Structure formats: structure tokens, C-alpha cells
Chains A and B, each alone.
Chain A
């Protein structure tokens, strides 16, 4: 889950990573003259999209009048389809140097990766491409971690300002600590700046590993602050992995691979999927019922394809869910069901005992997709 800048900076504060003094607001009425910040103050749109500065989402206010004026202008602004709903008001920094640093997991090396560069503040992807020597890439063993000596050597290798060596070492060490102990998929600071007040993280890009939500109380709070599309809200409440798409064939399947593949096969038969919906592994009857409810509220759905291959998921439970959701109901669209794998015989016999004229059972994925595409016309 990607965090907003202000959320990332809250985590920075928790891990003693210096950031400029700031306040967070979601309306101009929250801004009073005694905010405690020293001018100039930077008004920063909180949106999860790059290029907000160029789009007019960042402005520097020299006094209270400008602060309220700019805040009013930026709130509600549409930046590449993202509506600005909140702002970070931050004391401006006098920047002497700008660096880039990030921690992430390098999947192919199966270890952590730190990237560090003296050329921060600009497009770092371009630096990586054109001047790869300016970007230090250091792999870190997950079981051994990152020690002080290694950090110092990286600071030297990246040619960062040596007079700030010990301060930078502490900040880098704390960023790594946040990455590991905070269960982040990504911690990226661009720029990590040398300012009049020392080292400071001027921006934050943090992504959380939601599998670790059980050991972090604040993950839930962050999650609640991030708006989700209305179409995905209900599915989220039901713990379903749902993504709205443009087509007309509603898709329900188990396992991301199989669902993606169902999209492919539907497309091959000339149809287009209305959504991606993965009920996950080990789904119970109520999961399937909820999945059908989600599709019911989608106007673009004209037919539904339920493609289940049981492994840890049991087809009899899926069948019970389908029956539960459709029994005695006048269905809006035809449903094509394909069940294979664990307890499929039991599942199919449950469906056969509870016939519904809108439900068709198909014996193969290919045929089921074809029928669903025809049903959507």
C-alpha cells in the first residue's frame, strides 16, 4: 500500500529521520495564523502521482495571506486525475545539496537493495540510465543487516559531502531500520537534502507490506486515510481482490494467475472483462456470495463467468455460495459456472440439485469463456 507524503513523514518522525517542521490540513478553515511555522512555507498537494510540482500542486507562501490563498487554490485541484483532498504545509528549507536514497527488495537477488546517489532532486531513473556510476547499488543480506562501516563506505563511494558523514550515517541507518522493522516494501527519499539545518528528508515515498498488518497498529490507520474508488469499497470490506475494468463479462475466479488467464481467454473469444475479482484461496460459501453481490452493483456487467479450480478452495463450498446468492432470485444476467478440482463432483451435484434457468454449467474453461462472451452480447 502506497502512502501519502505526510504519512511517510510521520513514519520518518517515528524513526528519528529529520524532516522539515510541518502541519497537515484538509481544508483552509484548519489554517490559523498561529500555526507555529516560520515563513516561507511550502504548500504541498498530497496526491499519489508524480509531477505534482509541474502541475501547480506545490507553491511557496511568504506570509499568511499567500498561505491561505495558495492552499485554497491547490485544494480540490485535479492533478492527472487525482483530486487534491489534503495539504502538507511545510517550512521551506535552504537547500545546499540534494541526494537520492532508497531501500527496496531486489526479488531476483533475493536480498535488500540500497540505492544511493549524490544526484538527487532530479529524475533518478535518468541518472541510472545515463550515468549508472553515479548510482551506488548495494545489496544487503536480510539475515545480516546493514552495519555502520558499510554505510560509511557507501557515503564515500557515492561522493556525498563528507562533513555531514556521521549525520548521514545515522539518517541512513534509521531509514534502513524503518524499511525492515516498519515492514516497508519501499522507502525512497528524493531529495534527501543537506540544508541550513543539517540533513533533512524533504520528500517521502513509502510503500507498506500489508501482509505485515498484524504486527503494526498504525497500518490500519494509514489505510483508513487513503481514499479508495467507490466501486472497490464494498469488495474491500468483504476482503475481495477486485479491480474494475471496462468490458461487460463479469469475472469471478480463484487465484490471481487463473483470473488473469480467464481475462485472456475471454479476450480471445472476442469479449472484454468487466472486472478482475479473485476470491483467493480457501474461500467459503459467504465469500462467493459476497463476490456475486459486488458484481450486482456493477452496471457494465452483462454476463458472469465463475471459473474455479479447487485446490485449497473446495468446489462444494463455492457451489453452496452460488446457490445461497441466487436461490429464488430473478438474476440480472446469465451466470456460467465452471468447477474443477477439489470436491468438484460434490460442487456440481449441489448446482444440479438447485437449478436456476440463468445458470449454465460448463465443463471447460474455454467453453465457459465462450458462453460468457455470447451471454454478454
Chain B
């Protein structure tokens, strides 16, 4: 097993005709991912390197049985694209697009939760890979190997760093997931931790956070109560300059949360092994599995 994606994952790419969409969709296909369709309004009937293009996700799902959408649509159209994929019945929507207004993110999150059963990953995320099975997104698969460690992170490139540290020590991964660092991520640390805890392939978990927000503190609380598998964690930004606070409202909402030390303390208290440098993640996992 792995989480969220496996051999049965069939991907429809929204924005397959764009430069980024095409480059990464073909890389995903080369890896073995079943990339079965692309969408682009007005270009239905055409194809990209043998992948059929449809005008709508609904048509693509009907014709190909796609169950997962990967979105490369530019910010002004991303909200509608995600909602379209959800209404078309995709179980998972991986939104790679960076730069979506927060209001659009909040609205689409709310709508998906109220009206559909789709899971949204991202936006502004690198996607996810279950090594040996499927890669949906922009993660460089060369650095991954199949195994038993689940990796979850808010940061894209830092996820790759963590995965490389594991692979260099011959430690494989069950699934590697970047949840994205935007204000309203569709999938949270808690959702992923819960899935890893219930996944038979996953024996240990790497969780990578960064300063700002309170997602890591909430994850720590969840780990304390619900996660029995060993967790290794790293929080980026211990030496970063303190950010600007957003008025008094921001201070009231976040309280003392948000600093690297508050997050490290919460995670340590929850029983996670928090390393101070991402290059130590591999060794720390080695010590627990």
C-alpha cells in the first residue's frame, strides 16, 4: 500500500498543452504513471504525445476513467479548474499552480468540502509520489526509492532534500507528499499523518515544516494523540529573520505559535525526534527503523 496514489491512479492533466504541464506530465508518464487524458477548452480532439485532449474534465473522466486530476492552469482560472475536476468526480486533485489568490483558495476549499468528496492537494505544491507505483506532480523521481518511510512537507524543494537524504542511505519511501505552503492547503499535515498511520507500508514518518502559521503545532497535537509510528521532523527557519506580523488580528489568531522554537518544542513534546539540519534526517530515520 501507499497513500492517495498507487498503480490504479489514472491522471487527467488540466493544462496539458502548456509548457510546464506538458513537461511534467510526460515525465510522470515516463515514470509509469497512467496519464490518460489532458484538458484544454477548445482543443478537444487533439492530442499531446499520444495523450488525448478533451474540452472538459467530465468528458475526459467519462472516456478514460481518470480518477485523479493534476492542475497546471494559471492562477486566474485555477479555482474554476479545481472545482470542475471535483464536480467531474475526481477523487484526488493535485493543484501545482502557484500564485492563486487566498480568497479563491478559501472558496474552493469550502466548496469541495461542502459539496464533493474530492481530496485537494495543494495549491502551490509539488504533488506526490509513491515510488515504484505512481508520480503525480513535479517531484524529481530520480531521487526516490520504494520503501517504508512516509514523507510529508510544506515546502517543495525541501521535500526533495529530505527524500535524497533518505535515498542516499538506502532508505526507501512509501509516499512523499508536498502539501504546499499557501494559506489554505487542501490537505493538511494531519490528513497525511492520519493516512500514514493507517498505511501498512509506512513504518516511519518524516515531517518537514517551516516557520509561520500554526500547522506544525496542530500536527504535533495530533501526533501526540494518534500517531504510534516514529516521527522524525525538521523545521526550516530557525535562523530566519522574524517576519512581519499582520496587524493585531494576526497576533491574536496566532498567539505564540509560528516561531521555529515554538514548533520544535511542540513536536519534541509530542515525541517526535526533531533534527536541526535537514541533512540529518536520513540518519535519524536510520536510528528508529
A residues with a Cβ closer than 8 A to B are 2, 102-108, 110-113, 115, 124-125, 128, 135, 141-144, 180, 183, 185-186, 188, 190, 205, 207, 209, 211-212, 214-215, 243, 245, 253-258, 260-261, 263-265, 267-268, 273, 276, 280-282, 309-313, 340-342, 344, 364-366
Contact = CB atoms under 8 A, between A and B. Distances in A.
Of residues A128, A255, A265, which shows the largest number of chain B Cβ atoms within 10 Å of its Cβ? A255
Interface of B: 20, 24, 27, 75-76, 96, 98-103, 106-107, 109-111, 114, 126, 138-140, 142-143, 153-158, 160-161, 164, 181, 183-184, 208, 210-211, 213-215, 218, 234, 236-241, 244, 246-253, 276-279
A186 B111 CA distance: 22
Contact of B278 (A190, A265, A280): A265
B219 to A, nearest CB: 11
A330 to B, nearest CB: 31
Given A214-B75, A311-B157, A282 B20 contact: yes
A13 to B, nearest CB: 20
A125 B251 contact: yes
A255 B246 contact: no
B246 A260 contact: no
10 contacts: A105-B102, A107-B183, A188-B249, A211-B102, A257-B158, A261-B155, A264-B239, A309-B164, A311-B156, A340-B160
Nearest to B112: A143
B254 to A, nearest CB: 8
Given A143-B110, A257-B158, 11 more contacts: A108-B213, A141-B110, A142-B103, A186-B246, A209-B101, A243-B241, A257-B210, A258-B155, A261-B234, A261-B237, A261-B278
Contact of B100 (A207, A211, A243): A211
Contact of A143 (B100, B114, B143, B240): B114
A312 B25 CA distance: 11
Given A207-B246, A258-B155, A261-B236, A365 B114 contact: no
Given A104-B246, A111-B110, A185-B246, A365 B279 contact: yes
A257 B251 CA distance: 23
